Structure 1
């Protein structure tokens, strides 16, 4: 199957290699690239002994070493949105990692139900842009928190979208985020896909991601059974 992967470059390369090993022909269209704010994240981690940490993407921990940057916090609870982020937290040196179950609202529920380990607010190491659901749910549950932006996803400029579509002629497009889906259709609206005779499936990590696919293409949307790459790639079976 001919597949188009819309992740940032390094992640797309890993996914394309995985898809090739599965027997597919994969092409990369990196719509965004990550910019990390290392100093801000490290300063926040060292600023005080927070009640706990929360992370909704492994990207927020990419430049963090708990032993070096968060010695007072490495053994405090770290709430990770899902398995991949939990693994990144452990790799960064955090010892008390709680997997929140796969999305922001469930993560907030896990935090609210967890016995407090100290006074003060939770520190949320966040990305930009981000969906509002996690922070809104924390407020609804009465959890005090502070948000620090640890990274930002910036649009990749001057993408040769038409050339990539012509080369790839994808039978399916993989979307890992709502922002990627929205930008893809801003650059390649349904009428452009039709002009080139393309009728791909749109494989989405979650229902929130699928909501960014134009309604006229809803019949071509497939949603993974779990909000992670395993669930997404299972759609290819």
Structure 2
């Protein structure tokens, strides 16, 4: 199958390699690029008045080494949104990592069900833009927290959309976030797909991502059984 990957470039390359190993033809259209605020993250971690850390994307820990940046934090609980983010936290050197189950609301429920000890708030290393669901759930569950923006996803300018569509002629498009889905369809409306004679499947990481697909294309939407890349790629089988 011909598959279009909409992740940032570095991650898209890894996904394209996985797709090629699965026997698919992979193409990339990186809609965003990450900008990391390393000094802000290190300053927040060094404050050491937190009782736990929460992360909803591995991107938030991209340049973090616990032993160097947060020695007082290494053994405190780190609540990660899912398996990939939990793996990134362990790779960064944190020793007490809890997998929150796959989405922000379940992560908040996990934190409330197993509250870490101590008096300080939870530190949430977040991205920009981000969905509000995790923070809303923390407030609803009366979990004290502070948010620090660890990275921002900036739109990639001057994307050669028509050329990519013509080369790739995708039979499936991988959509990993609501922001990526919204930008994809701003750049690639249904009329443009029709002009290129394309009718791809839109493979979405979650129902929240699928909600950003235009209603006129809803019949082509498939939602991953689990909100991770393994679940997404399983839709290609």
Sort the TM-score into its range (normalised by shorter chain): over 0.9
Scaled by the length of structure 2, the TM-score of the pair is 0.99
Residues 33-72 of structure 1, C-alpha deviations (whole Å, 9 max, x = no match): 0000000000000012311000000000001000010011
Q: Which residue is 1:200 aligned to? A: 200
Q: Which runs of 5+ in 1 are unaligned?
A: none
1:15 and 2:6 matched = no
CA RMSD after TM alignment: 0.6
Residues 138-192 of structure 1, C-alpha deviations (whole Å, 9 max, x = no match): 0000000000000000000000001000000000100011111110100010011
Query: Equivalences for 1:35-114 in 2 at 5 Å?
Result: 35-114=35-114
Kept in 2: contact 1:75–1:96 (CA 8 A): yes
- SS of the equivalent of 1:110 reads helix
Kept in 2: contact 1:79–1:99 (CA 8 A): yes
State which drifts further: 24-33 or 41-50: 41-50
For 1:220 and 1:41, the matched residues in 2 are separated by 40
Q: Any runs of at least 4 consecutive aligned residues in structure 1 with deviations exceeding 2 A, and if so which?
A: none
For 2:217 and 2:113, the matched residues in 1 are separated by 39
For 2:116 and 2:15, the matched residues in 1 are separated by 38
Residues 56-93 of structure 1, C-alpha deviations (whole Å, 9 max, x = no match): 00000001000010011110000000000000000000
Q: Which residue is 2:130 aligned to? A: 130
State which drifts further: 6-15 or 46-55: 46-55
* Superposition deviation, residue 127 in structure 1: 0.3
Alignment length (residue pairs)? 237
Q: Which runs of 5+ in 2 are unaligned?
A: none
For 1:48 and 1:232, the matched residues in 2 are separated by 37
Kept in 1: contact 2:125–2:148 (CA 8 A): yes
For 2:116 and 2:11, the matched residues in 1 are separated by 35
Q: Which residue is 2:145 aligned to? A: 145
Q: Which residue is 1:2 aligned to? A: 2
For 1:115 and 1:106, the matched residues in 2 are separated by 14
For 2:59 and 2:165, the matched residues in 1 are separated by 28
Scaled by the length of structure 1, the TM-score of the pair is 0.99
Kept in 1: contact 2:77–2:116 (CA 8 A): no
